[in-house]
Amino acid sequence: MVALQIAVAAGLVVAPISSAGATEAESITTAGATGATTAAAASFCTAWALADRVDRTGKMYGAGGVTCKGKTAGRLTITFYRNSKKVKFAEKECPRHSACSASTGTILNSSGKQEWCARTQFHDVIGNDHYLEWACMIA
């Protein structure tokens, strides 16, 4: 029997695994919700987010993307918030490329100061969703 060691932000978890012929401990390292599944994966891709206004229109939008060191396929989601409430959403299936981006549609900026935030998340083809980025602005 092999022990699976999982290192998480709060400490180390060890669980027995039944695996025929396995003789050594296997380990998986994970970080918090916004961190990477492995150190190698963390350095493989970088996500970006943008909350911005369209010049001279009074409209706002969210955008984001991911840039990877190699060709990676996956799903990119952009969620746009006004004062912590979701107002727009965009999703894009990214083909096997090193970069992918998307943007939400525009929304009218109501009078007064609003906090606008864009949240970008990339889920790669092997199920990692560790590429996460936020950007906010007051307008």
Give tens-digit pLDDT for 59-116: 999 999 999 988 889 999 999 999 999 999 999 999 998 999 999 999 999 888 999 9
Q: At 43, list the tokens.
A: 């350095």
Nearest in space to 78 (alpha carbons), one of 100, 95, 96: 100
Total domains, the chain: 1
Q: What is the C-alpha separation between 18 and 49, in angstroms, rounded?
A: 42
| CATH code where residue 97 lies | 2.60.40.10
Q: How far is CA 64 from CA 7, 36, 125, in A?
A: 30, 18, 18
Q: Which of 42-51, 111-120, 121-130 has the highest mean pLDDT?
A: 111-120
Is residue 14 one of the residues assigned to a domain?
no
Structure confidence at residue 109 (pLDDT): 93
Is residue 95 one of the residues assigned to a domain?
yes
Q: What is the C-alpha separation between 68 and 105, in angstroms, rounded?
A: 25
Is residue 78 one of the residues assigned to a domain?
yes
Give the residue numbers spanning the domain of 52: 45-138
- Count Cβ atoms below 10 Å from residue 118 Cβ, excluding itself: 27
Is residue 125 one of the residues assigned to a domain?
yes
- Those residues whose C-beta lies under 8 Å from the C-beta of residue 15, and which sit 6 or more positions away, are 3, 4, 6
Structure confidence at residue 32 (pLDDT): 36
Structure confidence at residue 83 (pLDDT): 97
The H-or-E segment that residue 43 falls in is helix 39-44
- pTM of the predicted structure, to 2 decimals: 0.68
Average pLDDT score over residue span 16-37: 36
Structure confidence at residue 64 (pLDDT): 98
Is residue 21 one of the residues assigned to a domain?
no
